Amino acid sequence: MKIGDTIADHPIIQGGMAVSVSTSELVVAVAEEGGIGVIGGTGLSMDDLRCQMREARAGTKGLLGLNIMVAARNFKEAVLVSLKEKVDIVIAGAGFSRDVFTICREWKTPLVTMVSSVKVARLSERLGAAAVIVEGCDAGGHLGTEEKTIDLLPAICEAVSIPVIAAGGFVDGRDIAQQLELGAAGVQLGTRFLLSDECTVHKNFKELLITSKASDLVRIMSPVGLPANAILTPLVKKYLAGDSSIEPQSCDGCLKKCGREFCILEALRRARDGDYERGLFFTGKRFPDIAAVEPVKKIFSDLLQETRIYLDRVLKTSTPPRQLVI
């Protein structure tokens, strides 16, 4: 998978899950297997982000990325910190910033933008994006569309000449193979890597996803102003009921715009620390299809094997013969 001058051994990007979910331990493990490991920069102080980047860079010679929300007040600062730490790619989502194209161009670092329409994909390419990530409504966390990736992907692949990465509700090799068939250059997976040994979230977070049912997932409107997929926990129940007791008593202004129905930064931190009562647990819609928490090495091995088996079956019956390399 080639993004600008950056080439990954395998077409797999680990989702940059925010507020200390995608940290250096997970990122290094993914990069060591030939994917792109991505630090979730949103919710980190600049000192913490710098530390995470340095730990990751010290732990691997593989490819490292930053994922940062445009909606974060320290968005540009986080991008610059990461570029100074020699990050390989920058991924920007939850909003659109023209300035970041100029910054990444000056630093000669590939910029990847999260998109959910042909219009934004074309605009990203015109402004200089090295690739786009198409994320549909089955993804974990904040969403930019109510459409599924599988419905968005073909038109966006047709509309742009840069690589298109598929994201949103993918958990296994069959998913990867199907997106490659549709024209994707690669696939981003978040929840599959959250449920890994190397992800440092509290065991309560992982156990909640393993034991919850599909019916436990709800769509909420986040204080960020975007819809999101989250597990129905006591905090979410209070929010949906309009309970004012969860409104923040103070605010440090971490977002450019916030509805302040509750402090999302604090709620995500509590989820990371395993606080079921007060945490906000984001997850992709396909979480029930993940049966166990496993090491990243095994997850990668299974993903690649499953993808190859599916593609071998498809390619043998295709006319003319096709070549898809993972």
Residue 211 pLDDT > 60: yes
Percentage with pLDDT > 90 across the chain:
75
CA distance 199 to 321: 39
Residue 288 pLDDT > 90: yes
Exposed e or buried b per residue across 202-214, where buried means at least 16 C-beta atoms within 10 angstroms of its C-beta = beebbebbeebee
Task: Write down the pLDDT at residue 250.
Answer: 72
Residue 275 pLDDT > 90: yes
Q: Is the dihedral of CA 249, 19, 106, 115 positive or negative?
A: negative
Residue 292 pLDDT > 90: yes
Mean pLDDT of 151-176: 95
Q: How confident is the model at residue 258 (pLDDT cuts 50, 70, 90)?
A: low
* Alpha carbon 168 to chain centroid, angstroms: 8
Distance set, CA 272 to CA 75, 162, 202, 208, 319 (Å):
21, 35, 6, 12, 48
CA distance 105 to 280: 36
Smallest Cα–Cα separation from 276: which of 247, 233, 246? Answer: 233
What is the token pair recorded at 25? Answer: 């331990």
Beta strands 12-14; 186-189: pairing state: parallel
CA distance 239 to 235: 6
Q: Are 107 and 83 in contact (CB under 8 A)?
A: yes
Task: Please confirm whether the linkage preceding 295 is cis (ω < 30° from 0).
Answer: no
Q: How confident is the model at residue 315 (pLDDT cuts 50, 70, 90)?
A: low
Residue 157 pLDDT > 90: yes
CA distance 57 to 300: 20
Residue 127 pLDDT > 70: yes
Domains in the chain: boundaries: 8-199+292-317, 203-287
Q: How confident is the model at residue 143 (pLDDT cuts 50, 70, 90)?
A: confident
pTM equals 0.90
Mean pLDDT of 226-233: 91
Task: Write down the pLDDT at residue 20.
Answer: 85
What does the mean pLDDT of the chain come to? Answer: 91
Percentage with pLDDT > 70 across the chain:
94
Distance set, CA 289 to CA 174, 191, 292 (Å):
12, 11, 9
Residues 6+ apart with CB under 8 A from 171: 189, 191, 192, 284, 286, 287, 289, 290
CA distance 203 to 206: 5
Q: Are 255 and 95 in contact (CB under 8 A)?
A: no
Q: How confident is the model at residue 266 (pLDDT cuts 50, 70, 90)?
A: confident
CA distance 232 to 219: 9
Helix axes 24-32 and 46-59, enclosed angle (nearest 10): 30
The residue type of 284 is G
Mean pLDDT of 263-268: 87
Residue 324 pLDDT > 60: no
Residues 6+ apart with CB under 8 A from 133: 13, 91, 93, 112, 113, 114, 115, 164, 165, 166, 167, 188
What would the pLDDT profile of 50-102 be if each residue is shown by its tens digit? 999 999 999 999 999 999 988 777 889 999 999 999 999 999 987 788 889 99
Residue 326 pLDDT > 80: no
Q: How confident is the model at residue 46 (pLDDT cuts 50, 70, 90)?
A: very high
Mean pLDDT of 225-230: 87
Q: Which fold, 8-199+292-317?
A: TIM Barrel (3.20.20)
